[in-house]
């Protein structure tokens, strides 16, 4: 009878647990309504179901914003995104565990990713759709220095450790009239492996004319002190005078750091949504048809184009998902790439996709079947 009593208690607990499952609410509209005021678009008609994505953490804030807005107007749709990193995202996508992947770099053929993605999509091509443009800021903390201009060669010099003080003649030559301290330059870098590091070193390698020699990689090969994550490096710069780092624009903004202007040869360019957009337009299409992988031109001398940036792709199957998921995927991506959504991303430190690229992305989304 003791056991009977136990089983009664256990049954009671189980019933309570089951009853609890019925009383939660997914409806957070009251708190998020103020944020997601984008009007519903005709072409992103609401689909239903659940969509799972995984990958790049560089686009996390952007896609969360889009998910928030999208699910705010489509109450029957759920989109999950786990920012576990580009490599993991691609792996999970190719393993069939998620419906789309977010990645800082397009699928790589030499690593077998393209072939694996094709198998995963039941012998249909996977497409790389550029969706989020994340500028990388060269953020500094020098008292009294409101404006700092750097060329790629000088930036590379700072980050390799060749240029050691702020008053170095190379920096002074670019910033005539600025009050540069004689203090040593303190460089912070990302101690974890990061797409930001990879893209920043790609830029230095591509544009510095040989000053940066190390091969671009997710791990940092320059000088300085390591800090974990974007949060760590931006906090480091904020709390250390005369320091400098490279970090996503949003973090530089959130922490109110100084942001260097970059002079690629066409004059100093300030980091704005517009100037980044110009650089993205200058990028060349590297894929075939609707596979929209971009080849960024880091050496662009176009006036007013800010060239230090990374593009995150959504990697999707062109065909091969089941019908419900496909519908939801198209509906969500259409919302994500819409002008209003992209425009809204600028306030949180991303640059909107320029229209020239956006129309291509839109066409590709329409072509998913």
Residues that bind other proteins (CB under 8 A): 2-3, 5-6, 9, 13-14, 17, 20-21, 23-32, 35-36, 50, 52, 54, 57, 61, 64-65, 67-68, 71-72, 78, 80, 82-83, 95-98, 229-231, 234-235, 251, 254-255, 348
Smaller CB separation from other proteins, 61 or 300 = 61
- What is the rounded distance in angstroms from the CA atom of residue 307 to the CA atom of residue 95? 34
H or E segment and range at residue 96: none
For other proteins, which is the closer residue by CB, 81 or 203?
A: 81
Residue 334 Cβ vs other proteins, minimum distance, rounded to whole Å? 18
Q: Are strands 186-190 and 284-285 parallel, antiparallel or unpaired?
A: unpaired
Q: Which is nearer to other proteins, 21 or 182 (CB)?
A: 21
Q: C-beta of 131: minimal distance to other proteins in Å?
A: 16
Nearer to other proteins, 52 or 299 (CB): 52
Angstrom CA distances, 166 to 101, 153, 172, 219, 225, stand at 42, 15, 8, 26, 17
How far apart are alpha carbons 183 and 294 in whole angstroms? Answer: 40
Residue 50 or 239: the one with the smaller Cβ distance to other proteins is 50
Task: Tell me whether residue 106 or residue 351 sits nearer to other proteins (CB atom).
Answer: 351
Shortest spacing between CB 116 and other proteins, in angstroms:
15
**Judged by CB, which is closer to other proteins: 24, or 177?**
24
What's the rounded Cα separation, in Å, for the pair 118 and 126?
6
From residue 172, how far is each of 74, 144, 178, 181, 312 by CA, in Å? 54, 15, 8, 10, 35
Scan for tokens 């020239």, then name that residue. 356
Min CB(104)–other proteins separation in Å: 16
Helix (H, G, I), strand (E, B) or coil at 141: strand
Neighbour tally for 63: CB within 10 Å: 24
Burial class from Cβ neighbours inside 10 Å (0-12, 13-18, 19+) for residue 5 reads exposed
Q: What minimum distance in Å lies between the beta carbon of 197 and other proteins?
A: 16
Shortest distance, CB of residue 62 to other proteins, whole angstroms? 10
CB 243, min distance to other proteins, A = 17
């Amino acid at each position: 009878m003791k056991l009977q009593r136990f089983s009664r208690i256990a049954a009671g607990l189980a019933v309570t647990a089951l009853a609890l499952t019925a009383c939660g609410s997914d409806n957070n509209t009251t708190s998020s309504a103020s944020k997601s005021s984008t009007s519903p678009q005709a072409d992103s008609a609401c689909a239903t179901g659940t969509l799972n994505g995984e990958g790049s953490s560089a686009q996390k804030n952007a896609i969360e914003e889009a998910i928030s807005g999208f699910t705010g107007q489509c109450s029957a749709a759920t989109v999950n995104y786990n920012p576990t990193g580009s490599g993991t995202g691609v792996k999970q996508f190719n393993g069939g565990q998620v419906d789309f992947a977010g990645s800082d770099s397009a699928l790589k053929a030499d690593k077998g990713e393209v072939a694996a993605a094709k198998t995963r999509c039941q012998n249909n091509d996977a497409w790389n759709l550029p969706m989020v443009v994340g500028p990388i800021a060269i953020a500094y903390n020098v008292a009294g220095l409101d404006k700092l201009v750097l060329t790629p060669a000088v930036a590379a010099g700072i980050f390799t450790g060749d240029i050691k003080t702020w008053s170095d003649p190379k920096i002074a030559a670019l910033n005539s009239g600025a009050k540069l301290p004689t203090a040593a330059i303190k460089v912070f870098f990302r101690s974890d492996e990061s797409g930001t590091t990879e893209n920043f070193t790609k830029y230095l390698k591509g544009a510095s004319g040989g000053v940066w020699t190390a091969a671009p990689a997710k791990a940092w090969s320059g000088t300085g002190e390591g800090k974990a994550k974007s949060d760590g490096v931006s906090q480091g710069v904020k709390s250390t005078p005369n320091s400098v780092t490279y970090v996503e624009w949003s973090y530089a903004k959130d922490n109110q750091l100084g942001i260097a202007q970059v002079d690629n040869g066409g004059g100093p360019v300030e980091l704005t949504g517009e100037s980044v957009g110009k650089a993205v337009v200058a990028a060349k299409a590297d894929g075939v048809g609707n596979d929209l992988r971009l080849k960024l031109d880091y050496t662009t001398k176009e006036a007013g184009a800010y060239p230090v940036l990374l593009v995150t792709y959504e990697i999707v199957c062109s065909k091969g998902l089941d019908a419900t998921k496909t519908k939801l995927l198209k509906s969500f991506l259409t919302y994500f790439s819409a002008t209003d959504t992209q425009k809204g991303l600028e306030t949180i430190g991303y640059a909107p996709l320029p229209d020239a690229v956006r129309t291509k992305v839109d066409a590709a989304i329409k072509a998913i079947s």
